Amino acid sequence: MFSEHANNLEKKDTLNESILELEAYIKDFWRFLPLPVYYFNPMHIALDATRAAEDFSGYSEAEIIGRDLSKIFAESEQTISSFKKEILEGKHTLKKKMIFLTKDKRRVPVNVFVSPRESLNGEFIGYFLAVFDISAFEKFQKELEEKISKRTKELEESRTALMNILEDVEESRREAEEERDKTVAIVANLTDGLFFFDKNDILAFINPQAEKIFNVKKEQLIGKDFLEIISRQELKPLLDALGQKIKKVFRKEITINENLTLELTTVFVSRKGEKIGSLLILHDVSREKLVERMKTEFVSIAAHQLRTPLSAIKWTLKMFLDGDLGELTKEQKEFAEKSYISNERMINLVNDLLDVSRIEEGRYLYKLTPARMERIIQAIINSLSRVAKRKGIVIDFVKKQKSFPQVKVDAEKIGLVIQNLIDNAVKYTPEKGKITVSLSKTGNNLKVEVADTGMGIPKDQQGRIFSKFFRGANALKTETVGSGLGLFIVKNIVEAHKGKIWFESEEGKGTTFFFTIPINPEKI
Amino acid sequence: MINKEKIEELMSINGQVKDVVFQTDADYILKKYGEEGLAKLEKKAEELNIPINYKEANSLKLCPIGLRVLSLLLMRDVFGLSDSEIREIGYSAPATSFVVKLLMRFLSSFSRLAKEVPNYWKNHYTIGSLESVYLNEKTKDLIVHLKDFKVDPILCIYFEGYFRRIYEFAVGFGNGECKETKCMFKGAPYHEYVFRTRK
C-alpha cells in the first residue's frame, strides 16, 4: 500500500516535471519567435503574445493579454466584426491585409495570418494570429507605383508629343497631298502635252493632253520603256524627232497632221544634282502656224498684186527718161529719175517679200544643179564692183584652194545670198573701206566668208540679226534704205541647202559673215 | 506589520493554493521595482523566516494558503503598497499565469466563463468554493460568491483585481469592473463579487 502510494507520487512528480518543462519550452519559444504572433481565445481575447509582438505593438505582455482583437487593428468595427466571423467560420489558415495600430498610434500595413486551433475533441479553442509588417513592401510598392505613374505620365506626354508630331506630319502630308493634287490638276489641265520618264526611261506620267494628242491611253503606256513607247505607230512623230533615246531638244517642230503642229522640248529633271527623269513637253503651235501661213499668203498675194502696177510704173518712167515720150526738161528729168529709183526700191521690197513668202511656204528652192561656187561669187563681185568703186571700196576675192569641187545648189538663190552679204558690206562700210570675199573647202563643205571694215553690229543686237525686218540701230542711222529682210532670206537659203551661217562682228571695226554649203548634200 | 504571531496564525490555516502565485507576485515586483526590488522582498522574507522561494515557483506545486497571504503582506510592508496597488497585483497575475492562460483557451462564450468559475477555483485552491449566482448574457453582468474562505482581508482586495482580469478575458481588456459587495470579514456569510462592464 505504502509502496503503491510512493510509486504514484513518483509518477505525479515526473508528470509535473514534464508539464513544467513544457511550460518553460512554450514560454521560451514565444519569447524567441521573431514574428509578432498572438493567441486569441474563441471570444477574440488575446491570451498570449510573442516578445516580437510586444516590440512591434509597443504594448507590454500585461497590456496585450486580455486585449480584444478589435484593439489590435485600426479597422472599422464592421471590418473587425466581419473578420471575427470569418475566423470563427474558417477551418483553414486565413490571410488578410489589415492596418495594425501600435501603442504610439502608428498605423502599419500588415498581412495577417490566422490559424485556428481545435481541442482533441474537435472543439474550437482559439487561434494563432501572426502579423507581417508590409510597410516596407507597401512603401516600395507605393514608390514603384509612383515611378510607374511618373513613367506613365512621361510616356503619355511622349505619346501626346508623338501624336502632335504625327498630327504635324499628317498636316504636312495633307498639305503635300494638296500641293500634289494641285500640281496634278495643273498638269492635267495644262494645254501642253507632257510625258515624264523616270531615270531609267520608264514612263511614269502622261497627262490627258498628251493622251489626246496621240490618241493613246495612259494605262497602255505607264510603266513601259521609252523605246517600247515610241515604237507605237501613234507615237512615231516622237521617234522621228528624238530617235532611239531621249535627247535634249528645244522647240523642235513636229507635224502630227495638217491641222496639228507641235513644238517638242525635252527637259532633264534633276534633284540635288542627280537626274531623276526626263520631261517631254509638247506645245501646240498649230494656231500660230495657221496665222503665220495666212500672213504669208496675204503678203504673197499683196506682193503679187503690187508687182504688176510697179512694173508698169517702172517702164513708163523708163520711157520718160529715155525720151521715148518726148524730151524732158532738166527739172522734169530729175523728178523722173527720183521716181524711178523709188519705184526700183519698191520693186526690190516686193521681191524680198515674195521671197520671204516662198521661204515660209517651203517652196523656195527650185533648181538644184551642179555649180561652181567661185564663178557665182565672181559674177556677184563683178556686178557690185561699180557701186563699191563709187565709195572707194575695194572688193578682194581670195580663193584659198586652187580648185573647188562643184556643189549642187540653186545657183540663183546662192547668188542672192552672196549678193545680199556683199551689198550689205558695201552699204555699211565707209568710204575707202575694204571688203574681202574668201572661198575655202573645209571638210565636206565649201566655206564662204564676206569680211568688211564697216560699222559692225552692236553686241546687244547680234542675237536678232537674222530676224525678219530687223535692222541694227547704227545701220538705221547711216542707211535709211533697207527692208530688214535680206539676212532672213540669206539664212533660209543657206539652211535650205543644209548649210550653216554665222558671223563675227565688232562695232566700229567690221563684220565677217560665214556660210557653208555641203559638197554632197544627202537630201535637200 | 507582519510579526511572528501573524505568521503563525496564517500558517495555521488549512488549505493550499497553487505555488504559481509567487511567480505572478515576483513578475509584478520585477516589472515595477526590478531585481533590486525582488531581492529586497526575498531578504525581508528571509528575515522573518517566511519560506517563500519566488524564483522556483511553479504552476503545479501547492503551497499553504497562509504563505500566499504572507507574500502579499510582505510586498505591502516592504514597498508600502496601497489597496489599489494590491488590486493591481491581482489584476496582473492572470496575464502572466500559464495555468490561467490554459484555462482561458476554452473560453468560448460569456456563459462558459460562469460555468468554468467553480472549476477554476478548484484548480487553484483547496479550500473554499466559487459559484456564479447571477449571469446576464446580454449585459454581461455577473455575480459570484466565494464561500468558506475567510483567510485575510488583503485577499478580498487582491481578488477584486484578480477576478476583474479573469472577467475581462470574456469582456475585453480594460472593459470590466469588479467590486466586492459582501465580505465575510464584515459579517456576511460569503464574499460577493459583482462584475459589470464599463459603460
Q: What is the ipTM of this complex?
A: 0.78
Q: Are residues B153 and B106 in the same domain?
A: yes
H helix count then E strand count, chain A: 15, 17
pLDDT at A524 over 70: no
Q: For residue range B144-191, list pLDDT tens digits in order.
A: 999 999 999 999 999 999 999 999 888 888 889 999 999 999 999 999
Residue with cell 504572433: A37
Instruction: Tell me, yes or no, whether B169 lies in a domain.
Output: yes
Interface test with B, best of A14, A38, A41, A117 (most B CBs within 10 A): A41
DSSP-assigned letters across all residues of A420-432: HHHHHHHHHS-TT
CB A169 within 8 A of CB A175: no
CB contact under 8 A, B173 and A23: no
Q: For residue range A76-106, list pLDDT tens digits in order.
A: 999 999 999 888 887 667 888 999 999 999 9
Q: Is B47 left (phi over 0), alpha (psi -120 to 50) or beta?
A: alpha
Size of interface A-B (CB pairs under 8 A): 79
Phi, psi of B18 (to 5 degrees): -65, 130
How far, in Å, CA of B137 to CA of B154, rounded? 31
Q: Are residues B115 and B170 in the same domain?
A: yes
pLDDT at A214: 87
Q: Are residues B70 and B148 in the same domain?
A: no
CB contact under 8 A, B92 and A62: yes
The pLDDT > 70 percentage for chain A reads: 95
Q: Are residues B113 and B187 in the same domain?
A: yes
Confidence of residue A365 (pLDDT cuts 50, 70, 90): low
Interface test with A, best of B18, B105, B137, B197 (most A CBs within 10 A): B105
Within an 8 Å CB–CB cutoff, is residue B107 touching chain A? yes
Mean pLDDT of A426-434: 90
Comparing A41 with A475, the larger pLDDT belongs to: A41
Instruction: Tell me, yes or no, whether B146 lies in a domain.
Output: yes
CA distance A54 to chain B (A): 14
Within an 8 Å CB–CB cutoff, is residue A84 touching chain B? no
- Total domains in chain B come to 2
Confidence of residue A245 (pLDDT cuts 50, 70, 90): confident
Instruction: Tell me, yes or no, whether B174 lies in a domain.
Output: yes
Instruction: Tell me, yes or no, whether B158 lies in a domain.
Output: yes
CA dihedral B26, B31, B32, B37 (to 10 degrees): 50
Instruction: Tell me, yes or no, whether B32 lies in a domain.
Output: yes
Q: For residue range A175-223, list pLDDT tens digits in order.
A: 888 888 888 788 778 888 898 999 889 999 898 888 888 888 989 889 9
The x, y and z cell numbers of residue A120, run together, are: 482533441
Within an 8 Å CB–CB cutoff, is residue A66 touching chain B? yes
Please tell me what DSSP assigns to residue B76.
H
Q: Out of B60, B94, B173, whose CB is closest to A16?
A: B60
CA dihedral B94, B95, B97, B101 (to 10 degrees): 90
Mean pLDDT for chain A?
86
pLDDT at A326: 85
Q: Are residues B77 and B112 in the same domain?
A: no
CB atoms within 10 A of CB A414: 24
Residues 420-439 of A with CB under 8 A from B: none
Q: Are residues B152 and B70 in the same domain?
A: no
pLDDT at B134 over 90: yes
Q: Are residues B70 and B109 in the same domain?
A: no
CA distances (Å), origin B157, targets B62, B73, B88: 22, 12, 9
Instruction: Tell me, yes or no, whether B89 lies in a domain.
Output: no
Within an 8 Å CB–CB cutoff, is residue B95 touching chain A? yes
Name the closest residue on chain B to residue A121, using Cα atoms: B106
Q: Are residues B75 and B113 in the same domain?
A: no
Instruction: Tell me, yes or no, whether B88 lies in a domain.
Output: no
Nearest Cα to A205, choosing from A187, A189, A190, A186? A187
Q: Are residues B127 and B49 in the same domain?
A: no
Q: Out of B61, B98, B168, whose CB is closest to A23?
A: B98
pLDDT at A379: 93
Q: B15 is in which domain, residue-wise? A: 4-81
Instruction: Tell me, yes or no, whether B87 lies in a domain.
Output: no
Within an 8 Å CB–CB cutoff, is residue B198 touching chain A? no
Residue with cell 533615246: A245
Please tell me the pTM assigned to this model. Answer: 0.49
CB atoms within 10 A of CB B81: 19
